[in-house]
Amino acid sequence: MNTSAAFDPRAVQSLADCARAHGVVGAGGGGYSLADKLLARQYQTLIINAAQSEPLICKDWAALAHYGQCVLDGAKLLIDALGLKKSFIAVREEFASQLPDLPAAARKAGVIVARLPDVYPLGYEKVLMREVLGIAPDSPAAQSVLVVNAETLRNLAWAVLRQRPVTNKLITVSGAVAKPISLSVPVGTPFAECLALAGGATSPQFAVFHNGVLAGEAVDPVQSWVTATTLGYVVLPATHSAVTAAQSTDVMNQRLVERRAAFTANVMTGRTQAMSAAYALYDLTSYRRARHVFLGVSVSDVRADVLNIVPVGRARSFQPCVAAGEQVRRGQVIAIQIEGQIARHASVDAVVERATADGVALRRVTMDGSV
């Protein structure tokens, strides 16, 4: 616990400015402006969201297992600037046992590890507040609670302490793949590259869900790129019920669709369900047993010729800072995301192929400028 820090408005403004300049947005899928969140009000309590409740997605486990000290460094920056009285890191039991060094490291940073049950959907802020603090999300006390994703704090620490902009994203590729894996890849990497790093699909015909089967959406694998809010991809055979049930007129499939809709409606109101029930209802249990590995992919290992950097969040629009034909270096500002005035950066050395309000396409080049 930290009780000695005092709110420092200048320090908070400095953190917000740094977050904007280095492209730090909510990496848990929301894409909110961290700067706007920090400046919105004064807080007393921090919850670091590492609950990762979307089935088969575990990129926040990778954030803690491989960048845990960076996450805690980011938390310490907020504790000191905001004068926080209490700080927690929320981890589900499924992942807590794989992080044996976390409690001791967290204590040194003034953070308490909150081990939470394996229920869905723990990742929602209102559910986290209830599970960690025992408060209702619509209560006055909830207004003083700041919830920040673990990867977002890693990015904040890198921005402040290393002057490193957001150019890479932690994601998971799981499901019907040869090697379920969590990755750190350049923002803009095409799905096909991520799938190759996971050893390819185990089914010749497959569907792809961006950010999970329950809370995410089915995407065209040819037209999907890693964004600043990508949690991961779940690959399923084309014959899987998550793919076919909605299109079927079979009575059993229609009942399954209704049960899934009722499940979603319940959890959206904050009624948690056993995680095993979520896996079973969506026929994902067999994929849960796979052990994930982690791979940090260097820029030189990315084989894709073109990477696409696109806006994220609610108001998805860019003000490009570069033009087609211009050569850019990794980390260079290439656009300002209009909502929140957040700088977005090139994730590789490249030549700009396209720069519009919808995104910036980068064609990779070598250090000497050759394509």
- DSSP letters, 250-280, are -HHHHHHHHHHHHHHHHHHTT--EEHHHHHH
Tokens standing for residue 246? 């909605």
Cα gap 160→263, rounded to integer Å = 41
Q: Which residues contact 47 (CB under 8 A, 6 or more apart)?
A: 87, 88, 89, 90, 114, 128, 129, 132, 133, 145, 146, 147, 148
What CATH architecture is 9-162? 3-Layer(aba) Sandwich (3.40)
Share of the chain above pLDDT 70, in %: 95
pLDDT at position 1 over 50: no
What's the mean per-residue pLDDT of the chain? 91
Per-residue pLDDT tens digits for 320-334: 999 999 999 999 999
| SS3 at position 243 | helix
pTM for this one?
0.93
Tokens standing for residue 42? 């004064």
Contact yes or no for 128/147 (Cβ under 8 A): yes
Question: What is the DSSP annotation of 33-90?
Answer: BHHHHHHHS--SEEEEE----STT--HHHHHHHHHHHHHHHHHHHHHHHHT-SEEEEE
Domain edges within the chain: 9-162, 305-364
> Which class is 305-364 in CATH?
mainly beta
Tokens standing for residue 204? 């010749």
Per-residue pLDDT tens digits for 40-71: 999 999 999 998 889 999 999 889 999 999 99
Strands (E), 211-328: 217-219, 232-237, 273-274, 293-296, 306-309, 318-320, 327-328
pLDDT at position 370 over 60: no
